[in-house]
Structure 1
């Protein structure tokens, strides 16, 4: 049996089975419905098993046909994906890039830079998936992940994309006028606090500070909880409580007086954010361009 004919007929069978119609499948394959029907008859004879149930109105798979469809259709999908991916090897900024990132880097570090990058490279497809949970970017087929440098696995290549992340405690003047300003870290435990939740199992209600050169942790009351940083920021601006946020997230509001920060001499600073990817990852021109676009340009500054 000619292998190419067998392959072509299997592909035609997948189209018929998926579309449930000889007419629609024939249109997709650019052949005549009668010719396609004869090819399916020949395929069934060669395999010595009935694959399709035919009526005057519809076509459906037999049990054997369904098994063949479920096993072969994914293979054809993979082949099509790989053929499509070959465009990534050209010099053009094209192809698809998938990034897994927490919320803050997506808003503060990635989107402000990719905005113009996408306009300049219209053939590039970009997927930014906001996810505050840790994930295996290789298993989940992401090209890049974004995490704090201390959280990137050693078998990954990490590229710094931000300055160091300093946290700060802030509240709106409205809240301070109503409830007063805490004078010591321990007083935070008696205030209404707005807490960020990374996932249902982990809430950021243990705030960290550097007090007398020692790490101090204060567990605050979870008066309001959001799993989106943008809502935490909005709630603190609305005077609903005190929040512990990255300073870069609220620096404009602090400068304008919309928010007041305190305990600044005890702010803790965490490592910079990094874009990371697998060491053996093939990097297309578009991926290389994105790496350089996001790379921290002042690496000897914080």
Structure 2
């Protein structure tokens, strides 16, 4: 049969399955007369009688039975495949790729997304730890997680964590024979533990603010890392002053293992956001991840 006659064949199958023109027409959403005319056209084109009609019933001829048994299972298989595909569209599954900093990963994202993996076994996560600012579109990521101030304006941004701040800290041993800095510029006289940024390869310039006055200080020292976590260990062991997220050092400060410096110059700022292109076609899996990360207050 020609391609344009495929619908006619589907209509025949509907009559054959229902054994009724009335029921088949209702199922297909067409009139009974249109259906009857179409079946006659199929029989004429094939040169075979497919249905034996009476005033009260419809029966299949031998040719009709053979056509039903031959084509019916194939059409049914196509319908099942389409139904499965539609279910895939609505079912949270597939891979979600996110680029994020080590601090965001360890302190916020991974603790929240562990439950997602357990609840949705068909979701896969690829979490790429990177302290630089990646181009998520060019680099093939579904989303990125960064501080709100770092996100481009043409992105959709969803807050996923509370405000937080950076603190300059050092061990009591390091500070034993050195004056405590009273102003951020005095950090230039100290052995500071630097952070190497992935984007551009430059060193992070320490940023401070007090009473609306913003200050950026380029520090120097013996150690440079590209991750926050070894910086904590280096500060604890007396290797210098580190500038770190408060949640990483709060316990050490409370225990006296680290001393907080210049707190008045370290006000809170907007925390982490997940961001993605404004014209991004979100999959169910991606929506599940964003909802799990969404910040809902303290």
Q: Is the 8 A contact 1:88 1:95 kept in 2?
A: no
1:135 is matched with which residue?
134
2:277 is matched with which residue?
278
1:262 is matched with which residue?
261
What secondary structure does 1:271 align onto? coil
1:202 is matched with which residue?
202
In the superposition, the TM-score normalised over structure 2's length comes to: 0.65
Matches within 5 A, 1:1-302: 89-199=88-198, 201-204=201-204, 206-298=205-297
Q: Is the 8 A contact 1:88 1:285 kept in 2?
A: no
Alpha-carbon RMSD: 2.3
Q: Is the 8 A contact 1:191 1:241 kept in 2?
A: yes
Q: Structure 1 residues 87, 153: CA separation in 2 closer, same or farther (over 3 Å shift)?
A: farther
Distance (whole Å) between structure 2 residues aligned to residue 124 and residue 209 of structure 1: 41
What secondary structure does 1:170 align onto? strand
Deviation at 1:118, TM superposition (A): 1.4
Flag the structure with larger Rg. Answer: 2
Deviation at 1:211, TM superposition (A): 3.6
What secondary structure does 2:197 align onto? strand
What secondary structure does 2:165 align onto? strand
CA deviations on 1:177-199 (whole Å, 9 max, x unpaired) are 24353344333111111011113
Deviation at 1:252, TM superposition (A): 2.3
Aligned length: 214
Deviation at 1:226, TM superposition (A): 0.6
1:79 is matched with which residue?
none
Distance (whole Å) between structure 1 residues aligned to residue 218 and residue 295 of structure 2: 33
Distance (whole Å) between structure 2 residues aligned to residue 278 and residue 139 of structure 1: 11
What secondary structure does 1:254 align onto? helix
What secondary structure does 1:146 align onto? strand
Listed as ranges, the gaps of 5+ residues in structure 2 are 1-84
Deviation at 1:128, TM superposition (A): 0.3
Listed as ranges, the gaps of 5+ residues in structure 1 are 1-85
Q: Is the 8 A contact 2:131 2:227 kept in 1?
A: no
Distance (whole Å) between structure 2 residues aligned to residue 207 and residue 245 of structure 1: 10
Deviation at 1:91, TM superposition (A): 3.7
What secondary structure does 1:269 align onto? coil
In the superposition, the TM-score normalised over structure 1's length comes to: 0.65
| Greater per-residue strand proportion | 1
CA deviations on 1:141-196 (whole Å, 9 max, x unpaired) are 21111122222222221100112231111111222224353344333111111011
Q: Is the 8 A contact 2:196 2:203 kept in 1?
A: yes
Distance (whole Å) between structure 1 residues aligned to residue 170 and residue 178 of structure 2: 11
